[in-house]
Amino acid sequence: MVTVNIGMLHYLIDHIYGAFMHRTKISPPFFSRGWGGSKLELLERMIKDLFPEVEGQNWPPSLIQPIWRTVWETRSACLREGVFRTTCDEQLISALPPESHTARVAFLAPKHVPPQKMACVVHLAGTGDHSFDRRLHLGGPLLKENIATMVLESPFYGRRRPMLQHGAKLLCVSDLLLLGRTTIDETRSLLHWLDSEAGFGKMGVCGLSMGGVHAAMVGSLHPTPVATLPFLSPHSAVVAFCEGILRYGTAWEALREDLAVQKPAMTLEDVRERMRNVLSLTDVTRFPIPKNPNAVIFVAATDDGYIPKHSVLELQKAWPGSEVRWVTGGHVSSFLLHNDEFRRAIIDGLNRLEWKEPPF
């Protein structure tokens, strides 16, 4: 009788999928246009400015007024889509492609429930998630728990994708940092809108893979407690691009040639070291501990070919009080099979928050 190591099978599926996506020539690799020049220097400086000088003194989110249209409604629920100008400051807006200047969100909410008795979770995009559909599918069953879902379309994705970019493969390293910095700003503004304008009683933020990294950053930097729910996500983009399968889909030679303009003797190892240094800016263990770490729940996979276990545990250790839940599977299989566990984490994370006091 042949016994099959199920964990190894999940791990192999990740590598087969990764080989198909990143080693074939179906699309260009990540960062085929190099580092991004002066944009990268600007972003390195601005990301270092994210961290508050005084513990807990985060900069206030920008107030937004999305313009809404109703997509559909039933007797019990309503789906709207909204647009607003990105909340980044002018330096970042000038670095963003014009297509990314307008943010788009989908907003799925129960009807006939007062907002102060509802929660809403903002769902952030993983790598390659260009539409609202998958995240609305994840959030839809939560309506019966009086949990609304807001889905943000990432810059560089969907209708916000630059004309020259094919699929999810960002053209420059600076684009990855710009995507993250813009997503943090816009998500914090959406949470602020849900709180101060829409009057929701509780808020949360979640995301898969890259979206989970951004969710952790938002949860860390938001000025009020929110449930923070990173799913299948590393503590840093270094892990994804320098250790995990995405390293096979990265244009290392193009990055070397870009650096060789200034330093002709650059080796590929020098290039990888430069990448580690740049992406260390995305290390969430360096970010402040969220206001309510008990409402932080990580869901991680036991046999993830993209995200090693040590990466998840590093963030849990950096945020005492947070919880890690393990699901059996790899990155791809868990993404497909474990939506119920993701929903359970959303419900439990929100249950660990106090209801907001209603205004008098």
Name which residue leads in pLDDT, 53 or 203. Answer: 203
DSSP code per residue over 92-122: HHHHS-GGGSEEEEEEEEESSS-GGG-EEEE
pLDDT category at 336 given cuts 50, 70, 90 is confident
Highest mean pLDDT among 23-37, 119-133, 180-194: 180-194
Termini Cα distance of the chain = 70
Residue 359 pLDDT: 55
Amino acid at 303: D
For 39-43, 287-291, 318-322, which range has the lowest pLDDT when averaged over its residues?
Answer: 39-43
Quote the pLDDT of residue 109. 97
Confidence of residue 120 (pLDDT cuts 50, 70, 90): very high
Q: Are 326 and 320 in contact (CB under 8 A)?
A: no
User: What is the chain's mean pLDDT, rounded?
Assistant: 88
Which residue, among 244, 270, 255, has the nearest Cα to 174 in the 3D structure? 255
- Distance between CA atoms of 165 and 1, rounded to whole angstroms? 50
pLDDT at 51 (0 to 100): 63
Please name the amino acid found at residue 1.
M
59 vs 84, which has greater pLDDT? 84
Confidence band of 5 (pLDDT split at 50, 70, 90): low
Buried b (16+ CB within 10 A) or exposed e, 290-327: bbbbbbbbbbbbebbbbbeeebbebbbebbeebbbeeb
pLDDT per residue over 160-192, tens digit each? Answer: 999 999 888 999 999 999 999 999 999 999 999
Q: How confident is the model at residue 2 (pLDDT cuts 50, 70, 90)?
A: very low
Q: For position 262, what pLDDT does the model report?
A: 84
Q: How many CB atoms lie within 10 A of CB 71?
A: 13
Each residue's pLDDT tens digit, 6-28: 555 555 554 444 444 444 455 67
69 beta partners: 81
pLDDT confidence of residue 3: 39
- The mean per-residue pLDDT over the stretch 94-115 comes to 95
